[in-house]
Amino acid sequence: MTTTLPCATEPAAYAAPGPTTDGPADPDAPSLPSLQARFRPVFDRIAQGAAERERTRSLAHEPIAWLRDSGFTALRVPRRLGGAGASVEQLFALWTELAEADSNVAQILRPHFGFLDRVLIDRDAATQARWLPLAARGAVFGNATTEVGAGTLGTLQTTLVPDAQPGWWRLDGRKFYSTGTLYADWVTVVARAVEPGKEDQTVHAVVPTSEAGVQRFDDWRGFGQRLTGSGTTVLSQVRVPDDAVIRFPRAQPTPLVAYFQLAHLATLAGIARALQRDAIAYVQARRRVFSHGSATLPKDDPLVQHIVGQLAGTAYIAGLAVADVAAELGRIAREREAGREVPLQQLHALELRTAQAQVAVVDPVLQAAARLFEVGGSSALSEDLALDRHWRNARTLASHNPVLYKARSAGDILLNGADPIYYWHVGVAGVAAVAG
């Protein structure tokens, strides 16, 4: 059963409904324990090579293949379309376990699961029938959304224009932060559809990564999340059929913003669990002590015990925050998947709750990742252990969507009744900026 954290500071208008079922709508769908029994051996296998992959910067093609072959990448695909039919709550519980094994691998799949749930939650049956069976058969989806450089805030330089052949388009552009695309069979490209006599429209063009004109570069040089393939995708005159152009709603509130934030939070919660795991393993195996220590073995030193207890507390609270947000997101997802409208105030409450969770989780996890090194001496700095990867990966995740802006947004909502911000853009401020 999902634990719901109290949220006493929420305005009455944003109060979420009481808890309901936290499981899948399909009564024949698998339980969380059965899913854990199915996928934990895969997670364990991934965890065994995580430090070595990080140390040698070996891309995670094998772990992604293991997850695909096990059916993990089809977790949220409905059973009627060939998937497991798992709930949002089950997905994020397992996501946290995967992130504990290797946060790079969890981050690689963020665009994949985000695309599948966007199709499930925000699109029609025909779109679902077009794309979800591909995931059931093992297809992995990547992302090409963000552009760098001097582009105007709120505009897209990537364009989709009609091809000479009716029913086809031509896609051109250059993207960065293309997380997961190095590992993907398909990539969802956010572009500006330009048609004569019509207002430009922001769309998603879904193209095979093997298509002529699609180039992927492993040029991500961030100090964390080194294996996520979050580099450049170049699209040059890529032909796109009309049925691969998806027009998601963009002028109205959506639960998908909270979804993508929750993916980061679940990965941070997994890192917190990895910190606890690695601290325990390191201390229990350690025999050397300091002359000014407080015990003959590190595991009996009360100061070391204190640090391990703090790490465990951070992991616990981060996990609760993820479960709380996932429970509310799951309720909304089931309503939307059933074709029922969700009250605006419920979407606002979800967005506020997600922002609060981000503010509550990010700094403690970063502090825990630094505090880990207090349990030992210089041997904890060994590159063979790669314990520094936890802080670097957490810091990188926290930088994708700066927490200070989320804190400010939550404060504005609580103080002034402001509406949440659902569509965030990055670019150069300019006079002609128009949100897509």
289, pLDDT greater than 90: no
Token pair for 1: 């059963």
Across residues 355-374, what is the average pLDDT? 96
Across residues 120-132, what is the average pLDDT? 91
Residue located via tokens 């799949």: 109
Max avg pLDDT among 1-10, 44-53, 240-249, 285-294: 44-53
Identify whether 404 is part of a domain.
yes
379, pLDDT greater than 70: yes
Angle at CA 256, nearest 5°, toward 345 and 427?
A: 105
| DSSP reduced 3-state for 171 | strand
Q: What is the pLDDT of residue 290?
A: 67
Q: Where are the beta strands (DSSP E) in 209-275?
A: 214-217, 232-241, 245-246
Identify whether 15 is part of a domain.
no
Give the structural domain span for 219: 159-247
Phi, psi of 291 (to 5 degrees): -60, -25
User: What would the DSSP string read from start to end of 352-399?
Assistant: HHHHHHHHHHHHHHHHHHHHGGGGSSGGGG-TTTTTHHHHHHHHHHHH
**C-alpha span between 398 and 403 (Å, rounded):** 7
Identify whether 3 is part of a domain.
no
218-231 pLDDT, tens digit per residue, is 999 888 899 999 99
382, pLDDT greater than 50: yes
Residue closest to 230 by CA, chosen among 60, 47, 355, 45: 60
| DSSP reduced 3-state for 14 | helix
Residue 217's contacts (CB-CB under 8 Å, 6 or more residues apart) are 231, 232, 233, 234
**pLDDT tier for residue 213 given thresholds of 50, 70 and 90:** very high
Across residues 156-181, what is the average pLDDT? 95
Identify whether 297 is part of a domain.
yes
> What is the tally of structural domains in the chain?
3
Same domain, residue pair 237 and 345: no
278, pLDDT greater than 90: yes
Same domain, residue pair 395 and 266: yes
288, pLDDT greater than 80: no
Across residues 314-328, what is the average pLDDT? 98
Residue that terminates a domain, selected from 196, 224, 247: 247
**pLDDT tier for residue 291 given thresholds of 50, 70 and 90:** low
* Cβ pair 43, 75 in contact under 8 A: no
Identify whether 239 is part of a domain.
yes
153, pLDDT greater than 80: no
3, pLDDT greater than 80: no
Identify whether 59 is part of a domain.
yes
Across residues 391-404, what is the average pLDDT? 91
Same domain, residue pair 73 and 125: yes
> Buried (b) or exposed (e) across 288-308, using 16+ Cβ within 10 A?
ebeeeeeeeebeebeebbebb
97, pLDDT greater than 90: yes
Q: What is the pLDDT of residue 422?
A: 84
Higher pLDDT, 402 or 432: 402
**C-alpha span between 225 and 399 (Å, rounded):** 11
**C-alpha span between 259 and 121 (Å, rounded):** 11
Higher pLDDT, 9 or 100: 100
Q: Indicate which CATH number applies to the domain containing 65.
A: 1.10.540.10
* Cβ pair 154, 426 in contact under 8 A: no
Across residues 307-315, what is the average pLDDT? 97
What's CA 178's distance to the chain center, in Å? 13
Q: Indicate which CATH number applies to the domain containing 184.
A: 2.40.110.10
Identify whether 189 is part of a domain.
yes
Same domain, residue pair 260 and 369: yes
Same domain, residue pair 324 and 403: yes
Same domain, residue pair 134 and 179: no
Q: What is the pLDDT of residue 28?
A: 74
Identify whether 361 is part of a domain.
yes
Across residues 375-403, what is the average pLDDT? 89
18, pLDDT greater than 50: no
149, pLDDT greater than 90: no
**Range name among 100-104, 175-179, 336-340, 353-357 with the lowest pLDDT average:** 336-340
